[in-house]
């Protein structure tokens, strides 16, 4: 039995690792991981520059989604896990070129504490009064899907969309609140609206019933919100790669078509047809769509219609003196109304221990996203000067950097647009009609690294069950 896994990002690697483990009990099981690039890991890429750990793509994962921590334990990396420094966690929003700290008690964009909300300069009095009146919002039966912007605007007004929802979604996922599906991205809020009407009341009820863990216990964080690895996210990629059969890994290998031929799957691999018993497609959905269009044209269209955004990370290392004006905390998010290139900036050396040696600090700026992908065509030098000019304006940083590193990620982050669930139902049904075919990746059931690991593992389980 021979399984083809197309795509060697964390999703495809997770599939390969599961199949590798299953081989111990099934000696006739074979697999081959086909990755078009010369390296494995896809969007995950860590490197050392000037003794600093630079993450080109994801820098961490959400601890509460356990598939990543379990995978690390499975790889013998449990003692390499590091938690975010939540005690010094403070995030700002840029408003009229001033950094305003996010008020305490905000949960999933929903205010749950009266005083911090009343006192924050982030919102006008009109918005604060509206936030108070939101407690009286009547329950609303679940209707058609709508955008996150529509949901938040109905409850708290346009200012909260502009200053909170949109920067959070664009700064973290390169997304656009006006496009993203409320039902998919914020399902808990949609349920709360149906049950309680008010999202603030719903959130408070969830905490008191214990169904929503409160991140603060007696003012102290219970466990780190984000986790990473001492040697960077790349450790996960390298850890899996070290456990795979080297003969099963084919880098710099492009799959250009997938068809059903009699009882087998025929893949066109580097221009040559090859037969397999099963196939897991772990590429971005737009690539999966073009691979599978000949097999099922509607599936090809549905996959190809899932929007993706492109982004850029620019990491800049400074000597400590150069960052003297840096405020406390983890970083800041930039609303679109500020008309900056930057969507977000992380103070890397503050977020996790051990990212930079004593005397060096690192800022990681995030650009591009759903609304500004044209920036990807700028040269590294153009991007560097844009970002440095903005850092000077916002943070007063004028020092010469020790290093600057630019990473571009084209069409790498799926956007769960309004109607995502209906499209997913069609995709799941179409895939289920095909024997021994599975999909994995960030376009389907969650965009973060833990979600990708889970889809990869589930794809492997589906294939293994079918033999």
Contacts to ligand FAD by CB under 6 A:
6-12, 34-37, 42-44, 57-61, 254-255, 282-284, 287, 311, 313, 409, 412-413, 441-442, 447-449, 452
From CA 387, how far away is CA 366, in angstroms rounded? 10
Shortest separation between residue 127's beta carbon and ligand FAD, angstroms: 29
The least distance separating ligand FAD from the CB of residue 264, rounded to whole angstroms, comes to 19
Choose between 59 and 166: whose C-beta lies nearer to ligand FAD. 59
CB of 94 to ligand FAD, least distance (A): 20
Q: Which residues, in sequence order, are CB contacts of 396 under 8 Å at separation 6+?
A: 325
Nearer to ligand FAD, 312 or 418 (CB): 312
Q: Which is nearer to ligand FAD, 122 or 255 (CB)?
A: 255
User: How far, in Å, CA of 247 to CA of 147, rounded?
Assistant: 46
Give 34 or 110: the residue with its C-beta nearer to ligand FAD: 34
Shortest Å, Cβ 184 to ligand FAD: 15
Report in angstroms how near the CB of residue 365 gets to ligand FAD at its nearest: 11
Q: Report in angstroms how near the CB of residue 274 gets to ligand FAD at its nearest.
A: 13
Nearer to ligand FAD, 77 or 412 (CB): 412
Question: Smallest gap, in angstroms, from Cβ of residue 449 to ligand FAD?
Answer: 4
What's the min distance (Å) between Cβ of 362 and ligand FAD? Answer: 15
The tokens of 192 are what?
Answer: 């709360």
Q: Which two tokens stand for residue 136?
A: 């009286």
Q: Of the two residues 122 and 453, which places its CB atom closer to ligand FAD in the complex?
A: 453
Query: Residue 15 or 120: which CB sits closer to ligand FAD?
Result: 15
Nearer to ligand FAD, 44 or 363 (CB): 44
């Amino acid at each position: 039995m021979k399984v083809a896994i197309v795509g060697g990002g964390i999703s495809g690697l997770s599939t390969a690792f599961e199949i590798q483990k299953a081989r111990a009990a099934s000696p006739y099981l074979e697999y081959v991981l086909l990755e078009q690039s010369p390296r494995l890991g896809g969007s995950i890429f860590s490197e050392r520059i000037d003794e600093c750990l630079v993450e080109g793509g994801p820098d961490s994962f959400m601890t509460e989604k356990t598939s990543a921590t379990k995978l690390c334990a499975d790889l013998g990396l449990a003692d390499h896990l590091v938690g975010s420094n939540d005690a010094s966690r403070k995030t700002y929003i840029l408003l009229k070129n001033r950094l305003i700290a996010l008020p305490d008690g905000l949960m999933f964009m929903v205010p749950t504490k009266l005083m911090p909300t009343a006192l924050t300069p982030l919102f006008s009095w009109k918005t604060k009064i509206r936030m108070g009146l939101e407690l009286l919002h009547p329950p609303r039966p679940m209707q058609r899907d709508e955008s996150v912007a529509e949901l938040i605007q109905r409850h708290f007004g346009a200012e909260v969309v502009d200053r909170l929802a949109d920067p959070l979604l664009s700064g973290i996922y390169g997304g656009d609140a006006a496009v993203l599906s409320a039902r998919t991205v914020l399902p808990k809020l949609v349920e709360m609206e149906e049950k309680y009407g008010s999202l603030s009341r719903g959130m408070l009820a969830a905490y008191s019933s214990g169904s929503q863990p409160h991140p603060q216990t007696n003012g102290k964080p219970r466990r780190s919100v984000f986790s990473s690895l001492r040697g960077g996210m790349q450790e996960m990629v390298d850890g899996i790669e070290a456990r795979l059969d080297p003969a099963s890994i084919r880098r710099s290998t492009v799959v250009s078509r997938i068809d059903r031929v009699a009882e087998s799957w025929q893949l066109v691999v580097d221009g040559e047809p090859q037969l397999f018993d099963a196939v897991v497609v772990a590429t971005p959905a737009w690539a999966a769509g073009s691979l599978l269009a000949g097999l099922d044209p509607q599936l090809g269209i549905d996959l190809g219609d899932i929007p993706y955004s492109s982004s850029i990370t620019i990491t800049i290392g400074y000597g400590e003196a150069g960052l003297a004006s840096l405020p406390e905390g983890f970083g800041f998010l930039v609303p679109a109304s500020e008309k900056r290139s930057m969507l977000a900036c992380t103070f890397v050396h503050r977020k996790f221990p051990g990212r930079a040696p004593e005397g060096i600090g690192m800022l990681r700026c995030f650009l591009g996203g759903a609304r500004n992908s044209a920036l990807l065509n700028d040269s590294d030098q153009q991007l560097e000067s844009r970002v440095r000019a903005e850092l000077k304006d916002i943070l007063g940083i004028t020092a010469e950097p020790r290093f600057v590193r630019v990473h571009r990620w084209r069409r790498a982050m799926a956007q769960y647009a309004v109607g995502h669930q209906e499209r997913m139902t069609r995709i799941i049904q179409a895939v289920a009609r095909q024997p021994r075919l599975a999909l994995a990746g960030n376009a389907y059931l969650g965009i973060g690294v833990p979600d990708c690991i889970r889809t990869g593992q589930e794809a492997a389980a589906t294939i293994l069950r079918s033999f």
